[in-house]
């Protein structure tokens, strides 16, 4: 049991952090929601009602979609684009999907390779892009969830302010939807660009996200 926890400690740590942050968001969000209700002459809602509301759902979904978009783009773009000196990048000259031998697929698959890496046809094609596909799908579903929950939250707010409601098409063309979307995207893109560039010159001893402390700045695609 101890060994199981140690060998999966990275995943477990982030899952626990996720649950703690989500719980904290639900408590803080409920308080903010009730303050707004009071200002509009409405009645306060309980925690259980808040966490099943569109208001909470849109706040969660808008952050999820941007995180998954960040990883989806990073996974895909680093196939083709490089940054000299960054441990986050392949070496210049290695851009592209690489050969079957380099990727250990088809007849180059090894005894321990996943079955679909050796399989012919669509199974190998799908498995070769499965990480990007999964991240892309979760991004799209989260973004769709944001639009649906956002529509409900927006229309609730509209009625509370004695204004007319909009349909889904009107909402996804609205400033509210794009403000929620783009304010998350810009921060994700800045964080990725910072990581790519700062990791050229700065180090974190022992982290696989960093070069080794003594590695030269010009060294690309290494980890320590």
Partner 1 sequence: MGIRAAVVCLRPVTAPVAALVTALVMTGCASARDPSVAATAQRFLSAAGDGRGGAACRLLAPEAARSLDDCEKDIVSIGLRAGTIRGVEVWGNEARVRVDGDTLFLHRFPDGWRVRAAGCRPRPDQPYECEVRT
Chain positions contacting partner 1, by CB under 8 A: 22, 26, 40-43, 45, 51-57, 60-61, 64, 138, 141-142, 144-146, 148-149, 151-153, 155-156, 158-165
Nearest approach in angstroms of CB 186 to partner 1 is 22
Give which of 184, 187, 192 is closest to 63, Cα–Cα.
Answer: 184
Nearer to partner 1, 139 or 196 (CB): 139
Nearer to partner 1, 51 or 200 (CB): 51
Nearest approach in angstroms of CB 191 to partner 1 is 22
Instruction: Report whether 48 contacts 64 (CB < 8 A).
Output: no
Give which of 176, 137, 163, 138 is closest to 58, Cα–Cα.
Answer: 176
Nearer to partner 1, 56 or 105 (CB): 56
Nearer to partner 1, 30 or 82 (CB): 30
Tell how far CA 39 is from the center of its chain: 34
Nearest approach in angstroms of CB 61 to partner 1 is 5
Q: How far apart are CA 58 and CA 52, in angstroms?
A: 11
Burial class (CB in 10 A: 0-12, 13-18, 19+), 195: middle
Nearest approach in angstroms of CB 188 to partner 1 is 18
Nearest approach in angstroms of CB 189 to partner 1 is 22
- For residue 197, CA distances in Å to 86, 88, 114 come to 7, 9, 34
Nearer to partner 1, 156 or 222 (CB): 156
């Amino acid at each position: 049991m101890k060994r199981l926890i140690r060998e999966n400690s990275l995943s477990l740590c982030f899952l626990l952090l996720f649950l703690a942050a989500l719980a904290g968001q639900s408590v803080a969000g409920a308080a903010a929601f009730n303050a707004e209700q009071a200002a509009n002459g409405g009645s306060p809602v309980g925690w259980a009602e808040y966490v099943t509301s569109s208001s909470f759902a849109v706040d969660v979904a808008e952050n999820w979609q941007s995180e998954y978009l960040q990883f989806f783009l990073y996974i895909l773009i680093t196939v083709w684009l490089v940054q000299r000196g960054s441990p986050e990048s392949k070496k210049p000259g290695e851009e592209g999907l690489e050969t079957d031998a380099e990727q250990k697929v088809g007849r180059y698959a090894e005894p321990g390779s996943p079955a679909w890496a050796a399989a012919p046809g669509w199974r190998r094609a799908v498995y070769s892009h499965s990480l990007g596909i999964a991240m892309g799908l979760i991004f799209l579903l989260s973004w769709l969830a944001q639009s649906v929950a956002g529509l409900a939250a927006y229309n609730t707010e509209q009625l509370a302010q004695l204004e007319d409601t909009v349909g889904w098409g009107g909402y996804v063309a609205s400033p509210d939807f794009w403000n929620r979307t783009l304010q998350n995207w810009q921060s994700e893109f800045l964080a990725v660009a910072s990581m790519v560039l700062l990791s050229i010159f700065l180090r974190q001893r022992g982290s696989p996200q960093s070069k080794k402390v003594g590695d030269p700045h010009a060294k690309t695609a290494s980890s320590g």
